[in-house]
């Protein structure tokens, strides 16, 4: 992939955020050259592999993570809310962007027991100061959270993908 995104992902960002190709490539390059972030991710993956817990997948793909990173770098959100954390791939990309922006906070809701005590295991420790994990079902935790952090700048739904739950969250 080099320092570019696949064309369809770049086109999506261009249409959604008004970025141009040079700006997108700059963010991709910045992400890849961020040694603290890349080393932090590598360390977390290595530690997880040594934990004997098996080879649980790392979540969303690299392209989707970069799209989240670019949108958060460009949009400079103050409040990001996500439902569903699992390993924390999306969370890591969002938090990496917030850290580069030197602003913003991520509020994540994840159901207890989904990954036990492992929700967000991939997130490098230095990024966790911008992160609040809320344990519980989004159907119970999202509305009260929104009353305390609204307005939100970015919302990412990645929890239960049933129609009733998506309708409630959106």
Q: Residue ranges of the domains in the chain?
A: 7-169
The answer to whether the CB of 85 falls within 8 A of the CB of 133 is: yes
Looking at the domain covering 7-169, what would its CATH class be?
A: alpha beta
Residue 1's pLDDT is 39
The answer to whether the CB of 98 falls within 8 A of the CB of 68 is: no
Number of residues assigned to the chain: 170
| 54 pLDDT more than 70 | no
Give the count of alpha carbons within 13 A of 29, CB side only: 7
Residue 31's pLDDT is 96
pLDDT digits (tens, 9 = 90+) for 104-125: 999 999 987 655 578 899 999 9
| 18 pLDDT more than 80 | yes
Taking residues 40-64, report their average pLDDT: 74
Instruction: Give this prediction's pTM.
Output: 0.90
| 131 pLDDT more than 70 | yes
Taking residues 94-104, report their average pLDDT: 98
% of the chain at pLDDT higher than 70: 90
């Amino acid at each position: 992939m080099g320092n570019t995104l696949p064309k369809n992902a770049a086109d999506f960002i261009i249409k959604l955020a008004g970025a141009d190709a040079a700006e997108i490539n700059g963010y991709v390059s910045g992400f890849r050259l961020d040694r603290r972030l890349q080393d932090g991710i590598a360390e977390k993956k290595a530690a997880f592999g040594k934990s004997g817990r098996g080879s649980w997948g790392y979540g969303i793909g690299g392209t989707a993570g970069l799209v989240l990173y670019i949108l958060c770098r460009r949009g400079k959100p103050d409040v990001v809310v996500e439902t569903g954390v699992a390993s924390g791939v999306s969370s890591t990309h969002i938090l990496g962007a917030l850290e580069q922006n030197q602003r913003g906070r991520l509020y994540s809701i994840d159901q207890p027991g989904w990954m036990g005590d492992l929700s967000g295991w991939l997130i490098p420790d230095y990024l966790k100061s911008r992160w609040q994990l809320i344990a519980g079902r989004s159907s119970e935790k999202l509305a009260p959270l929104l009353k305390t952090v609204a307005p939100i700048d970015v919302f990412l739904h990645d929890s239960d993908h049933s129609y009733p739950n998506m309708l409630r969250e959106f």
